[in-house]
A = this chain, B = another copy of it.
Amino acid sequence: MPAWLRALPSGTELAALATLATLPDGAEVHAEGAPARHWHLVVAGAVRLSRLTSDGRRCVAEFLLPGDIFGIEDGVVHAVSAEAACASLLARIPRRPAEALAEADPALASALRDLTLARFAHGQDRLLRLACLTATERVASFLVEMAERSGAGDEIRLPMGRGDIGDHLGLRPETVCRTMAQLCRGGAFAMPAPNRILVRDRAALEALALRDRRPSAPDRDWDRRWAA
């Protein structure tokens, strides 16, 4: 059984269904609106999920990194298009047998539900980022997110281009460049190559990437407002 499916319950059975493919940079995995006949799993590289406006502006909803599954839809078609953000290796799992497997295995079904839940919460974070944060804060929060997801200590790899990052953060590629150069000059990190970041001052980066506050006080007055 391949390493990249070990994390999932029923990984062995899923692996038996999967086929592999190498995609060149920019290759399309599926278009927006295309029939959703397969799940996909990133084995190596990176995939971007995006949508376009009618006049060609692009919004990258999400980046998928090795270990991430995408293309699991409740509907009949894919809601977003998916392309390789760099040369990548993907596993394709046919939808029907995979769904049958999930129905038979409650643990797998539960894992997939958790995955959807996490993706939804992640979507809320991106909404907050786009609605509230400045360019510097968006870039910093993106880098913190990438650092957490790649989990490689103080090194962050950026498998996608500046344009992709810009479309993800609602900024121009030039603004992404300038902002990163500025953070770099400020000592937050070093940048030996455009796609390699060495974090020097994680605290400074996290301070810029203002996370939301999570008030946890129980709402004591709440019940008084309701009739029995």
Contacts and interface: CB of A to CB of B under 8 A. Distances in A.
Interface of A: 19-21, 23, 27-35, 51-55, 57-61, 74-75, 79-81, 92, 113-114, 117, 120-121, 123-124, 126-128, 130-133, 167-170, 210-219, 222, 225-228
Given A123-B120, A227-B21, A218 B51 contact: no
A120 B81 CA distance: 15
Contacts of A21: 225-227
Q: Describe A's contact surface by its main secondary structure.
A: mixed
A53 B92 contact: no
B219 A130 contact: no
Contacts of A212: 32, 51-54
A41 to B, nearest CB: 13
Contacts of A58: 132
B117 A59 contact: no
Contacts of A210: 53-55
Contact of A31 (B61, B123, B131, B215): B215
A131 B167 contact: yes
A137 to B, nearest CB: 9
A135 to B, nearest CB: 13
Contacts of A60: 131
Given A124-B61, A226-B92, A170 B130 contact: yes
A127 B127 contact: yes
Nearest to A114: B74
A225 B29 CA distance: 10
14 contacts: A21-B225, A32-B212, A51-B128, A52-B213, A54-B210, A59-B127, A59-B131, A59-B132, A79-B121, A92-B226, A123-B124, A127-B127, A127-B130, A131-B168
